[in-house]
Structure 1
Amino acid sequence: MKFKLGDFVRFVDEKREGYVTKIIDSQTLGVTDEDGFEIPVVVSNLTSVHGHGTVAAEIDVPKPIHVNIPSIAKYENGIYLAVANDNKAGNVVHFNLYNQTPNTLLITLNTERKEKFAGSFHGAIEPNSAKLVYSASLADLDIWPEFLFQMLLFSTADVKPLPPLVLRKKFRAKDFSTDLKELPGTTQKGWLIRLDEQLPLIDAQKLKESFFKATDQKKTVPAPAKEIDLHIEKLRDDHHFLEADEMLQIQLNHFNTAMDGAIVHHFDKIIFIHGSGNGTLRDKIHKLISKNPQVKTYMDARKEKFGYGATEVVFK
């Protein structure tokens, strides 16, 4: 017998029930019981519980379901992927593809992990409706495969056919750093990601005008504080979901903005609090400071307070 994520199951050899929250391999599943503990269980030791859902045809390939979605006025026409929490099965999330267009969507979904491919879904999604295309455990996000969507938009109207869409999506922790929101047409909460969003068109005339702006139309540079704290937790609330290189770039951008502001407003000096850590941020900003022609000198700032975790910059 084969199961899918979210199935409610009963142990054969003991009085225990729970939800399938992880597919460990073809013979072993992770089952979370009523106490919240996830237990590895051999498939042969499980049976489905009548009335708590149907058994899927294949492991890791959810059975497609059709969901009628009412008009969604607050969302633009487009193709969205809604990642919804399972209300009962712990970390399990379900991927529903929303076709918020006037066309019928013909779609295939393949997944790729370590150069190995698997077909996960194929079918048609009518206008203003959705279908379940995939399920996964949020706890295993680091090993999720890359998603490859191939789509055709079909219409019986007298309109020029749109070109096929080929979309790749690799999910990262930062994709789920925002607050959960109520998904359109349901009472479930989750994350809504637009798949077909196009780059904005460039207005050639406005671009041309931007090169010939009068010199008095300069952007106002705000005056920074006398002490700038570059610790990432002071700059971003979602720092837990950022990669190391992303955090460093944010810190350097903040440093550069403060330096420009200090120079424009004729500061005598400014202090940057970068911490000691592994020294990467300190070395980067010291290199930038040493190349700035407006800098007279720089030194460790107030060692009695910051130790070697802050740098004072003195301007000419």
Structure 2
Amino acid sequence: MEKFNPRTFEPPNPQTLNFQAMRFPIGTKVKFIHTGDEGTVVSLLDAETLNVRITGDDMEIPVNIENVVPAGQYVAAAQPIKGKPKPQMNIPPPPPRHVPPAVGVPVKAGNAQYAIIKSMGIQLAFDPIYKEDGSPEKYLIYVINDTRMDVVYNFTLFMGKRAVLEHSSKLNGLHYERIGEMLFDQLNDSPSVEMECWRLLTDEGGKKLKKELNIKAKTFFTKVLTAPFLDRPVHHFRMFEKHELELADEKEASAEDLKSYTERNIQPQSKIIHHQSEPRHEVKQMAEFNPELDLHVENLVKDQRKLNNADILNLQMRRFEQYLDQAIRIGVDRVFIIHGVGEGKLKNAIATILMQHPHVKTFKNEYHARYGYGATEVEFS
């Protein structure tokens, strides 16, 4: 079999693909150019025709793609003035390329442009970044959750047998997250993906599912779809269906009685633990997490006599940033940072970071019956 060579392979030219039709995935809210009526795309009849359900009416009609635009791009036609020529319809060009979010920062999907009619579950998207000559340079990798379930996942990208990218995270329902990138040339290095996923329930984690994906270069370019929330054509793979996650938890629940009976009636035995099968994101961490962080220096170091004021402040801020990252990773709702009153330098330094942090919803330094004015309450988004 001929080996794939990314330097000589010519991927499909985006100009030759029907990207106009790909702008209207199922669930897209659209407006009719000439009337201003609204509807939702329920199916794609062919490359030029959409099946649209009219808003407020239980009626579906076929519509040519030239007669509708995504709702967010609609510009009403200017009214003609008597005696003057009728102005041309002002249809805006496609929006500029989306500025990618930072790696590891989950993004809540907006609902103005996209309505989920049928969930595709947990998905992987490879978003191409092109060079000036139009050839792909690399692919930004996204994990998309278009269900309403909160999940935890582990992602590993291999080149052959070598792991080149690992990422573990919590991803809430109707969120997506950029987790890294893959170079175009790496398509010749036998890339593959291992992914584990399970629901994040109130008291414990759901049953863990595992999938493997071998990325074959020649078929990679045929997996093109307008991804939910990203609203642009990407190389798209469905990893875990919504019903798979729900069914796994139902099976786990049905087996609980037998599991409890067994644990009560047999003697404890030694258990072999395989490191690779252990989840990297323990749900029990949330239960063990202390929602209070006391930054008084005596709690951070045994001997503070050799530290000057600048050293102490640096030590306190490093500990605060580590704690903040852990709280966000685990997914707690709020924490209290105990900094004391003093001259206010530590409190002000903490406030500066919190004001700029994308995961902080609000924070306040008000009187508290337990802490007085010596603590800041932080609430996460």
Same fold (TM over 0.5): no
- Which TM bucket (shorter chain)? 0.3 to 0.5
When normalised by structure 1's length, the TM-score is 0.38
Structure that is richer in strand per residue: 1
